[in-house]
Amino acid sequence: AAPTTAASIIFSFAARDGGGGGGVPPSRTSSSAGTSDRRRRFDDDCPPVEDERTDRRPAAEPYRVAVVGSGLTGCLTALRIRRRWEEEADADDATEVGDGRRPRRRRNRRPSPPPPLDLRVLERATYPSGRFGAEARFEGSVADLGAQVLSTVNPDDFRALGGHGVDISDIRLADDIASRLRERGIIFPVTTDHGESEEEEEASDDPLCPTEERMMWEGLWVHHVAPGGMARILRALLSDARVVPTFGA
């Protein structure tokens, strides 16, 4: 087999982009080099002319992602994928300025938008499941049969330094998600009942029973309860991720 050369690599990209014929690109001579230099100076002085025909490109294929399971991990994963995709799309549309360099231009081509995201969540059960989805309802009351508390770390505590594979940015991200749920009244921090009003109540671990898994470090961990059931957290996360799960999959 012929060795891979720079010319063959360039030709492969040109052929894939629809340029050139079926032969190896001609070698660069002094005449072609001089022509290229003059063309480069001309292109630097004159902005490219937009050609409407080059914008008529086929629509990009959707980027397909399947999340298996609609427990807390699956719902958070779907939400994070959606937000990261939106962040990347916003960054792609932003124009880089302030670096002292001229922006790189695409001749006769406009920046193509990122492909659409086809995000799906597959669940074997008929409801958002996992520990947060296990519940029993009777006459308007709900009992959580799996997890009863959602716990996050307070990123403002001096002991929140990360570790065990968890970075401080992850701690802040979890706190941001919990804060959004608190603002919507889906979860509430566990508080003492010593105050005369809700405003005087403070977050405390006193109402909770100690367990082998629950961290009871006052001020570092913030524990939340969901009056409407922990399953409501899952439904809220799926709604924020704009995903309708496929149940019974």
Q: What single letter denotes the amino acid at residue 67?
A: V
- Whether 118 is covered by a domain: the verdict is yes
- 125 and 242 share one domain: yes
- 183 and 159 share one domain: yes
Element (H, E) at 178: helix 168-183
51-55, 162-166, 183-187, 203-207: least confident range: 51-55
- The residue segments making up the domain with residue 238 are 62-91+112-134+230-249
- Whether 42 is covered by a domain: the verdict is no
Question: Is the model's pLDDT at 108 over the cut of 70?
Answer: no
Percentage, residues of the chain above pLDDT 70: 58
- 245 and 185 share one domain: no
- 157 and 223 share one domain: yes
- Whether 246 is covered by a domain: the verdict is yes
Q: What is the pLDDT of residue 95?
A: 47
Question: Is the model's pLDDT at 235 over the cut of 90?
Answer: yes
- 162 and 120 share one domain: no
- Whether 47 is covered by a domain: the verdict is no
Domains contained in the chain, number: 2
- 130 and 186 share one domain: no
- 155 and 224 share one domain: yes
Q: What is the pLDDT of residue 79?
A: 97
Mean pLDDT of the chain: 74
- 163 and 223 share one domain: yes
166 DSSP β-pair partners = 163
Contact predicate 66/120, CB 8 Å: yes
- 235 and 222 share one domain: no
Q: What are phi and psi of 246, to 5 degrees?
A: -95, 105
Q: Tens digit of pLDDT for each residue in 9-48? A: 333 333 334 444 444 444 444 445 555 555 555 455 544 5
Rounded to whole angstroms, what are the CA distances from 202 to 36, 189, 222? 72, 9, 11
Q: pTM score > 0.75 for this model?
A: no
Q: What is the pLDDT of residue 112?
A: 64
Contact predicate 222/187, CB 8 Å: no
- 183 and 247 share one domain: no
Q: Tens digit of pLDDT for each residue in 213-227? A: 667 677 888 899 999
- Whether 18 is covered by a domain: the verdict is no
- 153 and 168 share one domain: yes
Q: What is the pLDDT of residue 195?
A: 43
- Whether 166 is covered by a domain: the verdict is yes
- Whether 242 is covered by a domain: the verdict is yes
- Whether 21 is covered by a domain: the verdict is no
Whichever domain contains 129, its CATH number is 3.50.50.60
Q: What is the pLDDT of residue 190?
A: 87
- 127 and 237 share one domain: yes
CA 63 to CA 118: how far, in whole Å?
6
Q: Tens digit of pLDDT for each residue in 139-180? A: 989 999 998 899 999 999 998 888 888 899 999 999 999 999
Q: What is the pLDDT of residue 208?
A: 76
67 DSSP β-pair partners = 121
Predicted confidence band of residue 68 (pLDDT cuts 50, 70, 90): very high
